[in-house]
């Protein structure tokens, strides 16, 4: 990840996490690629390093649930869809916060306040 302002770095991180969830949406919970699972785990570690502990925990929980789901013959209702939805909501809120912070920093620097 390249260096930049805090908002740029977090924006890129959140966008990458969103792309992973989109990939998961396209493949479905029952046919998750190994590379997608690995990327979810890596993204969980990366977000942890950037201080996004809650996002990291949700990504790790999703990856763990998807791995466990692979070994089940019967498909029973589980919390993965709810967690997936919660992750998307969280990423949406992160994008909004980053946009507000970017605007705030722009106008504060412009006005000198």
pLDDT digits (tens, 9 = 90+) for 49-93: 999 999 999 999 999 999 888 776 666 667 889 999 999 999 999
Q: To the nearest whole number, what is the mean pLDDT of the chain? A: 86
Confidence category of residue 2, pLDDT binned at 50, 70, 90: very low
> CA-to-CA distance for 60 and 14, rounded, in angstroms?
15
Tell me the Cα Rg of the chain. 16
How far apart, in whole angstroms, are the C-alpha atoms of residue 13 and residue 7? 10
Domain boundaries, the chain: 6-106
Looking at per-residue pLDDT, the higher value among 31 and 42 belongs to 42
Give the whole-number percent of the chain exceeding pLDDT 90: 54
């Amino acid at each position: 990840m390249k260096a930049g302002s805090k908002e740029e770095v977090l924006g890129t991180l959140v966008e990458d996490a969103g792309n992973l969830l989109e990939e998961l949406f396209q493949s479905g919970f029952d046919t998750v690629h190994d590379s997608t699972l690995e990327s979810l785990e890596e993204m969980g570690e990366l977000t942890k390093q950037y201080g996004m502990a809650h996002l990291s925990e949700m990504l790790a929980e999703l990856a763990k649930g998807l791995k466990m789901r692979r070994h089940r013959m019967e498909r029973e209702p589980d919390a993965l869809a709810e967690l997936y939805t919660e992750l998307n909501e969280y990423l949406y809120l992160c994008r909004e916060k980053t946009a507000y912070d970017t605007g705030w920093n722009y106008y504060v620097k412009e006005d000198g306040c």
